[in-house]
Amino acid sequence: MSEETASSSSSRPRIDKYFAAVAEMGASDLHFKANSPARVRVQGGLKPLKGELSNERIEKMLFEVMNDEQKVRYAEKGSTDFSYQLDANNRFRINIFRQRGLTSMAARHIPRNIPNYDTLHLPAILKEIAGLHQGLVLVAGITGSGKSTTIASMIQQINMSRTSHIVTLEDPIEFMFEDDKSFINQREIGLDVADFHDALKYLMREDPDVVLIGEMRDQETFEAALHAAESGHLVFGTVHASNAPGTITRVLELFPVEARNLARMSLVFNLQAVIVLKLLKGIRPDIKRIPAVEIMIANPSVRKMINEKRENELLSVIRNSYQEGMQDFTESLRYLVENEYIATQTAYDAAPNPDELKMKLKGISVSSGGVIG
C-alpha cells in the first residue's frame, strides 16, 4: 500500500482499503505507526505492508472515522477506543494512542460470524459452564489471547439455547449478536452510556438474566459483578492474568486491604469458574492459531483454598480434578503437542514449567504437590 491519498470523489473512508486488506489476508490485527509501514498480524507474526505512513496521513484516516467526542478524548487522554464497521461481515476494535508525540493505532479484526467451541478448539467443559444460570465466570489472559472470542462463543450458546435477557457492557462493542432464543442488549461505553460507572449503576434495573462486563478493571466494576452474581444472575467478565491462581490474586488486589476479606468471601460463594487462555501458533495448515487453556471449576476444594487464603495451592486442586473438566496449562500443552496441533518448542516456550512439561511428554506422572486438605 502506498502513501497515495484516495480520490476526492470516493465516498469511502480512506482507511477502508487497509481494513479490507486485513479481511482478505485473514489477518487478526492492523497496526499504524508514524513514519513506518503499516503492519498486519498473520499467524501470530507481524508483516509490513508496502510504503511508509506519515503521522499526518494516519491522523487524516483515523479522524475521518472518529466522532467529535472520540477526538476530544484522544486529545485530552492520549488514547481512545472505538469500534468501526467495514461492511456487513467485518468490524474492527480500534485503539488509538499517542507515542513520542505521534499517533499510532492497533485495530483488532472481528468477523461477523461467532465461532463455536469446535472451531476455536476449546474444551467441551465450556459448554457446561455456559449452561449455568447463576454465578461469576472469569475469563483471563493477556491482550490478544482470545478472551473476547471465547466469551462470545459462550454468550452465543446461551442465545441459541434458552430464553434469557442478556446485557453486555463493552468498551467498545466487539462481536455483534443477533437475537435467537434470547433477547440481547449491547451497551457501548462512550456511545450508549457515558462510562462504566453509569452503566453499572442502572444494570440491575434492566432486568438481565445474563451479564457480560467487558473488563473488570477496578473495585467498582468487580463489586457490581459480584452483586449481580449474588442476585441470581450469570455474570461473565474478563481479567488480565496469566493463570487461574493469579486471577484470584489479581481480583483481590483491586480492593483496598481492609475490603479484601469481604471480597474473598463473595468469591467463595459466587465464583463458578476461571478460564485462562494463551493463543499459540499452530502447525496444521488449517489451524493457524490454537489456544492452550487452563480451567479451574469452583468445586468445594477450590472454595476451601480461596476461603483459607491458600491460592498458592489451587494448582494442586486443578491437577487432582482432571476428571471434573479442570486442567492446568501443562496438561493442555501436553495434549496439543501429542495431537500435533503445536510444535514441541512452542509448548516449551509457553509452559509455566518446561521441565515439568518434558516429564509429561515422556509419560512421567507429575506430582500434584501434596494432599488437598
The percentage of residues in the chain with a pLDDT greater than 90, rounded to a whole number, is 84
The three cell numbers locating residue 193: 452510556
Establish whether domains 16-111 and 117-361 are of one fold: no
Q: What are the domain boundaries of the chain?
A: 16-111, 117-361
What pLDDT band is residue 263 in, cutting at 50, 70 and 90? very high
Closest CA to 121 of 356, 292, 260: 292
Q: How high is the pLDDT of residue 195?
A: 87
pLDDT at 362 over 60: yes
**Rg of the chain over all Cα atoms, to the nearest angstrom:** 22
pLDDT in tens, 308-339: 999 999 999 999 999 999 999 999 999 999 99
Q: How high is the pLDDT of residue 149?
A: 95
Range 16-111 has CATH code 3.30.450.90? yes
Q: Which residue has the cell 463489586?
A: 223
Q: How high is the pLDDT of residue 209?
A: 97
Are 30 and 107 within 8 A, CB to CB? yes
Closest CA to 107 of 176, 168, 153, 61: 61
What pLDDT band is residue 372 in, cutting at 50, 70 and 90? very low
The whole-number average pLDDT for the span 136-158 is 95
Quick one: which H or E segment has residue 304?
Answer: helix 300-307
The three cell numbers locating residue 86: 467495514
The three cell numbers locating residue 30: 492492523
Q: How high is the pLDDT of residue 10?
A: 55
pLDDT at 215 over 90: no
Backbone angles phi, psi at 130, to 5 degrees: -70, -20
Q: Which CATH superfamily is domain 117-361 in?
A: P-loop containing nucleotide triphosphate hydrolases (3.40.50.300)
Q: In what order do the strands lie in the sheet with 271-281?
A: 183-188, 165-170, 210-213, 234-239, 135-140, 271-281, 289-297
| Lowest mean pLDDT segment, chosen from 3-12, 41-50, 106-115 | 3-12
pLDDT at 70 over 60: yes
Quick one: which H or E segment has residue 147?
Answer: helix 147-161
> What mean pLDDT is reported for the chain?
92
Q: What is the spatial distance between Cα 159 and Cα 111, in angstroms, rounded to a whole number?
A: 18
pLDDT at 193 over 70: yes
